[in-house]
Structure 1
Amino acid sequence: MTEDRRALVVGGAGGIGGDICRKLASQGYRVVVADFDAEGACKVRDGLHGSGHDVARLDVTNAESVHAAFLGIETSGAASVLVVASGGPVVHLGQQPHVATLSMNDWDRTIALNLTGVFRCIHAFAQLRLVAPIEHSRIIVIGSAAGELAGSGTDIAYGTAKAALLGLTRQAAFDLAAAGITVNNVAPGPVGTPEFFRNTNEPVRSGIASLAALKRLATPQEVSAAVAYIASREAACITGATLAINGGIHMH
């Protein structure tokens, strides 16, 4: 690509988000790495190919933080692509509290981080692009196979939030179609991120990988490749869709 295009990646300091930043930068995007972890975001930005990249600190669980961050980013150059890769389980990986034992505090925190925070980002981006349209605008939500699979090793709040993202994606796609803004969901299964390897041992990783038809974890690079495709002009007729990157785990 030769034209100047800007992508905003919320959750860009994470394992998946960071690789999405690197992939988009390699394709010529100027990337804004947005995250609550400002230090981690700076590290990702400093390793990106090319120039013109930036960092923004925001807390998706705080409405004022999201509003201020999106307005600040807009003043330095409007983004045509939004990727929301923030979120994650509040309950420790591998724990799966029963519906009757999950605390209401953990429920509220999980929904705030994984559902309401995603909506805030979509809402803020949509408002900006409806006022100042950019051709080929994209919204890409990073969901999870946990949104379609009960008993996937995560807790009920996380699974519920990720399932709700499927409906949020479709409804936002419908609402924004007239403006030419596509909205899609990339839903990975277990991904071999640095965080995943730090928080699991080999028997746990092997057990999780065995659930997939391909008997392996997805890589962050496979997720970022899917994001790059959906962000491309070739994917202009795809909206309201969910692309599963899970090795066939959904077939069980």
Structure 2
Amino acid sequence: MKRLENKVAIITGAAQGMGAAHAKLFVEEGAKVVLTDLNEEKGQAVAAELGENAIFVKQDVTSEEDWKVVVAKAEEVFGPVNILVNNAGISVNKSIMDMSLEEYRRIVDINQVSVFLGMRAVVPSMEKAGKGSIINVSSINGLVGGAIGYTDTKFAVRGMTKAAAIELTRKGIRVNSVHPGVIATPMIQQEDAKDAIEEFAKFIPLKRIAQPEEVSNMVLFLASDESSYSTGSEFVVDGGLTAQ
């Protein structure tokens, strides 16, 4: 039996990068997956590639109404939701003195508020399903310092995960956070960051950046019943970076 057989999952930010990798692996392991993103063209293409067990819904993760639509669509097409992967996120490479309040609040809305909205929206559906697993994608910058805005929100995701895990355990819902290090995604491969990332990789104990699929394997474990005794915990995928 496949590891996610008969499970229904929502994955945000799934049009590319880690989100797309998570969706592909989930479908391979038997899940029915709702992919969401603002990038409709790429999101539709990924869903089409994955076949009948995947659909795409355009979503602004900062919109309470959009979350209601996504959960309703998941239930309509596939049934009650078992898994939520809060994967969507952004980073702005600016100093504290150069970042505007508008830019800062945008990071907070996408990286932090969306996680709150997603968890709140999906709980009733998971109760219908009988149990659930929420995986919040934080970062190693939810454990150690990094860019302003990004670090702040990723620490917040870590804290929200623990608070939600304690509250939701009585509903049969587990909540864990994943903390990727340097991953080969479009966000870090932008021209203004590419050279710096390649130089930084030399200081990672494993001497390389990770592929998205290496994070997907951790997310799969947490989505599956194999992690049935894990909740409120942090799972680090960083090639040893934070062990130094």
> After TM superposition, is the score higher than 0.5?
yes
Aligned pairs for 1:197-236 (under 5 A) are: 197-199=189-191, 203-236=195-228
CA shift for structure 1 position 102: 2.3
Shift of the 102–47 alpha-carbon distance from structure 1 to 2, 3 Å rule, reads same
Counterpart of 2:72, as a letter, is L
Task: State which drifts further: 67-76 or 240-249.
Answer: 67-76
1:50-93 Cα shifts (integer Å, max 9, x gaps): 5332111110112212222222322222221111110111x2xx
Instruction: Report the Cα distance in structure 1 between the residues aligned to 2:94 and 2:143, rounded to whole angstroms.
Output: 16
Q: Percent identity?
A: 29
Aligned pairs for 1:91-240 (under 5 A) are: 91=92, 95-98=93-96, 100-130=97-127, 132-135=128-131, 137-150=132-145, 152=146, 154=147, 156-199=148-191, 203-240=195-232
Instruction: Report the Cα distance in structure 1 between the residues aligned to 2:161 and 2:194, rounded to whole angstroms.
Output: 35
Instruction: Report the Cα distance in structure 2 between the residues aligned to 1:20 and 1:79, rounded to whole angstroms.
Output: 16
CA shift for structure 1 position 192: 1.0
Could you tell me which residue of structure 1 aligns to residue 62 of structure 2?
61
SS of the residue corresponding to residue 149 of structure 2 reads helix
Task: State which drifts further: 193-202 or 58-67.
Answer: 193-202
Counterpart of 2:49, as a letter, is G
Match of 1:13 among 15, 26, 29: 15
TM-score (norm 2): 0.92
Instruction: Report the Cα distance in structure 1 between the residues aligned to 2:120 and 2:195, rounded to whole angstroms.
Output: 41
Match of 2:87 among 80, 85, 92: 85
Do the aligned partners of 2:204 and 2:239 also contact (CA within 8 Å) in 1? yes
CA shift for structure 1 position 201: 6.6
Shift of the 36–202 alpha-carbon distance from structure 1 to 2, 3 Å rule, reads closer
Task: State which drifts further: 9-18 or 70-79.
Answer: 70-79
Structure 1 residue 241 corresponds to structure 2 residue 211: no
Instruction: Report the Cα distance in structure 1 between the residues aligned to 2:122 and 2:105, rounded to whole angstroms.
Output: 24
Do the aligned partners of 1:56 and 1:73 also contact (CA within 8 Å) in 2? no
1:124-163 Cα shifts (integer Å, max 9, x gaps): 0113223x1334x11011111111221x3x2x11110000
Do the aligned partners of 1:16 and 1:224 also contact (CA within 8 Å) in 2? yes
SS of the residue corresponding to residue 219 of structure 2 reads helix
Could you tell me which residue of structure 2 aligns to residue 251 of structure 1?
243
User: Alignment RMSD, CA only?
Assistant: 1.8
Could you tell me which residue of structure 2 aligns to residue 31 of structure 1?
33
Counterpart of 1:109, as a letter, is R
CA shift for structure 1 position 109: 0.5
Do the aligned partners of 1:9 and 1:32 also contact (CA within 8 Å) in 2? yes
Shift of the 47–199 alpha-carbon distance from structure 1 to 2, 3 Å rule, reads farther
SS of the residue corresponding to residue 190 of structure 1 reads coil
Instruction: Report the Cα distance in structure 2 between the residues aligned to 1:28 and 1:208, rounded to whole angstroms.
Output: 37
Shift of the 86–202 alpha-carbon distance from structure 1 to 2, 3 Å rule, reads closer
Task: State which drifts further: 63-72 or 177-186.
Answer: 63-72
Gaps of 5+ in 2: none
Gaps of 5+ in 1: none
Counterpart of 1:227, as a letter, is V
SS of the residue corresponding to residue 11 of structure 2 reads strand
